[in-house]
Structure 1
Amino acid sequence: MTAAVDTSADDYPVPPEPGLTEHEVLDRAERIAETLIDRQQETEERGYYALDTHEVLLNAGFYRLMVPRRYGGYEFGIDTHMQVVARLARGCASTAWMYTFGASHAHLAATLLGEQAQNEVFAGGDFICPGVVAPAGFAEPAEDGGWIVDGEFRYASGSPYATHFVGQTFIAGAEGEPPEQMMFIVPRDQWRRLDDWGSQLGLKGSGSYSVKIEKAHIPAHYALPGTHMGLASVVGGTPGLRLHGTTLYGGSVLAPLNFQVGALAVGMATAALDVYGELARERTIPYPPFGRRAEDPDYQLRYGEAVGRVATARAAMTDMLRQWQETAELGDVSREVELRMSIISREIVRLAWSAVSDILFPTAGTSAVRAGERLERIWRDISTLHTHAGVNVYLATIAPRELAQLALGIAH
């Protein structure tokens, strides 16, 4: 178990760069993204981003962005993290995916866990904690009041350099009753990563391996019986709000989990625009008058329409993040508000996908979509994003139905 750090109000650990600003963080993300473009093939072949890339992200402070100041973190907002994700995805979607689904759960942990657990899991400052929303395995009571967890958890993006893992499991219910769900967090030395990622269509380098937990002891303060990480209510306040005194850890946890797919889609679609613009300036059309694509009215129309769709998606992302901050400051975020914000992310994905799949990919030319070409990889990655259960199951069907029921006052 990780030792606790001194977190008295007068003696918080100092982050590596006390004067780091959000503006500099975003500038760093753009610079890092440029270095990722030419490394996408090796990242896919490896299955996750390289150790030196991990060290760059580490030194840039990216694993501390949403770690509370109490533990030497920067405590930047949800908006800063999502803007970083969009910028990284412009360079390499796999890297951005692996990064965000490892680093973003600092917000979840800082919002929902109690003080003792936070003192321990954040003791190292840098926090990389892949999470799996789908419940797996079972937990049995331990003699000391904790739990013994056993199970295999698929698609733990971010696991190669992780410090922890957060998951959902089942607790046996009373006789005749269905099992109850339990959220738990576990340090890295209590699980192993399986070698089962890399054969998918896209996002091959996202490090989305399975995590195997075998009879691990989970202390009682690392477990939240009756809590689902994506459905936890923040009405009435949260442990994080009381502990840290900031609404960053008092707002919705459901919506930020869903915001990530929108940020990733915006970054991928922006990268596709980059490629299409380069092709328009460099290549000619195969029919009379044989001019450059950039001078052809049809290519201008396609490019302009795609730019508009991506710009609309980006604007929706910006306002979605603004809404989250606004609702967090008001407090007592209702389920209806959480769902409405979450579904915006689904619409962002739709706009970004339509720009790539309907306009840019089919009109870029066959040579631009050969295996290994940048646009071909972007198309594979954003296609694979659509297979994520959070996108095409939860946000596409479950969330809209529940939102309608709440808005219409229908019991469910």
Structure 2
Amino acid sequence: MTAAMDTSAKDYPLPPEPGLTEHEVLARAERIAKTLVDRQQETEARGFYALDTHELLRKSGFYRLMVPRRYGGYEFGIDTHMQVVERLARGCASTAWMYTFGASHAHLIAAVYGEQAQDELFAGGDFICPGVIAPAGFAEPAEDGGWIVDGVFRYASGSPYATHFVGQTFVAGAEGEPPEQLMFIVPRDQWRRLDDWGSQLGLKGSGSHSVKVEKAHIPAHYALLGTHMGMISVVGGTPGLRLHRNTLYGGSVVAPFTFQLGALSVGMATAALDVYAELTRERPVTYPPFGPRSEDPDFQLRYGEAAGRIAAARAAMTDVLRQWHETAERGNVTREVELRMSIISREVVRMTWNTVSDILYPTAGTSAVRAGERLERIWRDMSTLHTHAGVHIYLATIAPRELAQLELGIAS
């Protein structure tokens, strides 16, 4: 663990807490998570976490974890961010989801955008930028070389307190040609959040509202034509690596999208195990020879099996984060490497979901899964995680197929 460097000698603005360490950040995440458990119902009812929670996250430095130092950020690693996400998800999955999919895109922007754009986009220090990877709407050329973007972008998790939005849209191709893709970022004053979130099965409080962009002017340096954020290659370096001279901004920007799903699922499954442990200590067995569940061999087996699987999932997350940093340092982040790391995230999600759905949820008892009970909410949240296109479309079919084609030398 390392403290944020004092970069004042380079005339960089200092972050709010220059001596903040990654160790303290993780300790804060654990303390905050404990306060979130009893607020899950209100978070679901509101559709996003409360303003005082937002202020607590802000004051704790969580919106600056991956913001570059030259803009008053802490420039901590991908691993620190993902561990924060896991800890927050242990307290409230909706809060963790909304937080990570708002704050994590600081890494994407710092890696792939140029200096002029970053100087402007990170000027505020705290950076909350929901992103939608699915293209929507259209962009037309503006007279000054920029773009005019119009569209509705669904599932913009993190939008309630956002400072920016990053999305994908279409640009009309030449006659007879398919449209091109445009990746763009737009400040908060050029889009509005729609009131269309909260009726889903789970993650009701994740702030995953739609964002409506109406004829917004996007400067040319805020747009990347012919780029899709799920296909960005870092082979040969990135603008962020050259600008910040830190491999944090030269490693894969695709795999970290999937790491968030793994970190969230580990946190949720750990919360489910917390509940199961409490039930095992407090409730009796309903069949002879009766007695407390904690003394029953079957409940001991279920708990031990679940604890072992979750530990294995966490170990996989720890190692894939190590792989990310190693490959970034070596500069050998090919598409194959990105895909293999992403598929590890899929296995983490699969392992944790199977643990909750096959072991913990069905044996906890009917009263433990009534509407509003903590385990019932965890099950709903994990079920909804599985409806994310990244889990059961990209990671389940597209990524493994592409990996096979690349490693076997098969033309797609």
What TM-score bracket applies, with the shorter chain setting the length? over 0.9
2:308 counterpart residue number: 308
Alpha-carbon separation, structure 1, partners of 2:277 and 2:253: 37
1:261 counterpart residue number: 261
1:3 counterpart residue number: none
- 1:75 aligned partner, one-letter code: E
2:348 is aligned with 1:348: yes
Deviation at 1:332, TM superposition (A): 3.9
Alpha-carbon separation, structure 1, partners of 2:200 and 2:262: 21
2:336 is aligned with 1:328: no
2:235 is aligned with 1:247: no
2:3 counterpart residue number: none
Are the aligned partners of 1:109 and 1:118 in contact in 2 as well (CA < 8 Å)?
A: yes
1:161 counterpart residue number: 161
Matches within 5 A, 1:1-400: 10-400=10-400
Count matched residues.
406
Deviation at 1:73, TM superposition (A): 0.1
CA distances 1:207-262 after superposition (whole Å, capped 9, x unpaired) = 00000000000000000001111110000000000000000000000000110000
Gaps in structure 2 of 5+ consecutive residues: 1-6
Alpha-carbon separation, structure 2, partners of 1:242 and 1:45: 45
Are the aligned partners of 1:68 and 1:110 in contact in 2 as well (CA < 8 Å)?
A: yes
Deviation at 1:333, TM superposition (A): 1.0
- How high is the sequence identity, in percent, across the aligned residues? 85
Are the aligned partners of 2:8 and 2:14 in contact in 1 as well (CA < 8 Å)?
A: no
1:4 counterpart residue number: none
Deviation at 1:288, TM superposition (A): 1.3
Secondary structure (helix, strand or coil) at the match of 1:209 reads coil
> Which runs of at least 4 in structure 1 moved beyond 6 Å after TM superposition?
none
CA distances 1:84-112 after superposition (whole Å, capped 9, x unpaired) = 00000000000000000000000000000
Deviation at 1:9, TM superposition (A): 6.9
Alpha-carbon separation, structure 2, partners of 1:365 and 1:407: 46
Secondary structure (helix, strand or coil) at the match of 1:208 reads coil
- Compared CA separation, residues 54 and 247, structure 1 to 2 (3 A): same
Deviation at 1:8, TM superposition (A): 9.4
Are the aligned partners of 1:237 and 1:332 in contact in 2 as well (CA < 8 Å)?
A: no
Alpha-carbon separation, structure 2, partners of 1:287 and 1:260: 41
Alpha-carbon separation, structure 1, partners of 2:200 and 2:225: 34
Alpha-carbon separation, structure 2, partners of 1:60 and 1:123: 19
- Compared CA separation, residues 8 and 307, structure 1 to 2 (3 A): closer
Alpha-carbon separation, structure 1, partners of 2:19 and 2:165: 30
- 2:162 aligned partner, one-letter code: A
- 1:116 aligned partner, one-letter code: Q
Gaps in structure 1 of 5+ consecutive residues: 1-6
RMSD of aligned alpha carbons: 0.9
- 1:374 aligned partner, one-letter code: R
Deviation at 1:289, TM superposition (A): 1.5
CA distances 1:277-305 after superposition (whole Å, capped 9, x unpaired) = 00000000111121110100000001110
Alpha-carbon separation, structure 2, partners of 1:113 and 1:359: 45
